[in-house]
Amino acid sequence: MGIASTRKELAEHGIVLRKGLGQHFLVDRNIMIRVVDTAEVDRDDVVLEVGPGLGEMTSILADRARKVIAVEIDPRLAKILEEKMDRYPNVEVIREDVLKIDLRQFQGVERQKVKVVANLPYQISTPLLFRFIEAREVFTSLTLMLQKEVAERLVAPPGRKEYGPLSIFVQMFSDVSICFRVKPSAFFPPPKVESAVIRIRWKEKPVVATKDEEWFKKVVKGAMGYRRKTLINALKYSGLALQGDSETKLEGAGIDPHRRPGTLSIQEFVKLAKIL
């Protein structure tokens, strides 16, 4: 499917794309095949596809996987998808907002883990990645098309401007890599930015174990919310309920309270959460 045929199919169904849903359809079939190859989808796999659109990559997945679960928020597209996927008994279309459903339901009664393969709408990529991390026991790997800037945040090391809470949470629990980049011309309508395909595989054990994951998240988000300030001032402005002399605690743990939050490693953030 190319741009002309995508435009024609949308017109035939009277569909005007909704900018608020971030609808940019991948139309380059070679890129679709490369994404599925990168995900290493085979006949034993259950695959979750988010935002399948007109179902072009869905059909490629259906030809390879044991089962494909396609979650589409737009009821107009979901209806088209159901009609087109009627010939594939191994495809299930779910008309839902993926940010509002329980991701753990996809493991099913067989308790088989799921691979995620998706061209994610840009505006949901960050909150959805956090949800995937929270339900990581359900998934073996994530192969995702993202805005290039988001992909660069995922792999950024401490000290880089792209380094933030998303970098820390993803790298703490997974090995993440940028597999290849995709030009805007591969989509209809073409976005204004480049995209990148990333692959996430969960680590057997997190880089550093945390006893209280929620508190760790609050500390990271609180400190990184004021990343231009010194660490001690960022903590003061963070709204966290801190007890005692935080500056003395930091110095005692070997963390300079006058560093910028964005220079702390994952291990240092774990230590920070513990001493606070």
Q: What is the pTM of this model?
A: 0.90
**Ranges 17-21, 212-216, 222-226, 262-266: which has the least confidence:** 17-21
Mean pLDDT of 50-76: 94
Mean pLDDT of 145-169: 95
Instruction: Report the 3 state secondary structure along the chain.
Output: CCHHHHHHHHHHCCCCCCHHHCCCEECCHHHHHHHHHHHCCCCCCEEEEECCCCCHHHHHHHHHCCEEEEECCCHHHHHHHHHHHHHCCCEEEECCCCCCCCHHHHHCCCCCCEEEEEECCHHHHHHHHHHHHHCHHHEEEEEEEEEHHHHHHHHCCCCCCCCCHHHHHHHHHEEEEEEEEECHHHEECCCCCCEEEEEEEECCCCCCCCCCHHHHHHHHHHHHCCCCCCHHHHHHHCCCCCCCCHHHHHHHCCCCCCCCHHHCCHHHHHHHHHHC
CATH 3.40.50.150 domain span(s) along the chain: 3-202
- Specify the CATH number of the domain 213-275: 1.10.8.100
Query: What pLDDT is attached to residue 174?
Result: 95
Q: What percent of the chain has pLDDT over 70?
A: 92
User: Which phi and psi (to 5°) does residue 227 adopt?
Assistant: -70, -20
Query: What pLDDT is attached to residue 214?
Result: 87
> pLDDT digits over 187-200, tens only?
988 888 999 999 99
Q: Kindly tell me if the per-residue pLDDT of 182 is higher than 60.
A: yes
Q: Sorting pLDDT into bands at 50, 70 and 90, what band is 171?
A: very high
Q: Sorting pLDDT into bands at 50, 70 and 90, what band is 130?
A: very high
Q: How far apart are CA 204 and CA 209, in angstroms?
A: 11
Query: What pLDDT is attached to residue 255?
Result: 92
What fold characterizes domain 3-202? Rossmann fold (3.40.50)
Mean pLDDT of 226-249: 87
Q: What percent of the chain has pLDDT over 90?
A: 69
Q: Kindly tell me if the per-residue pLDDT of 205 is higher than 60.
A: yes
Q: How far apart are CA 264 and CA 160, in angstroms?
A: 11
Q: Kindly tell me if the per-residue pLDDT of 81 is higher than 70.
A: yes
CATH 1.10.8.100 domain span(s) along the chain: 213-275
Query: What pLDDT is attached to residue 19?
Result: 61
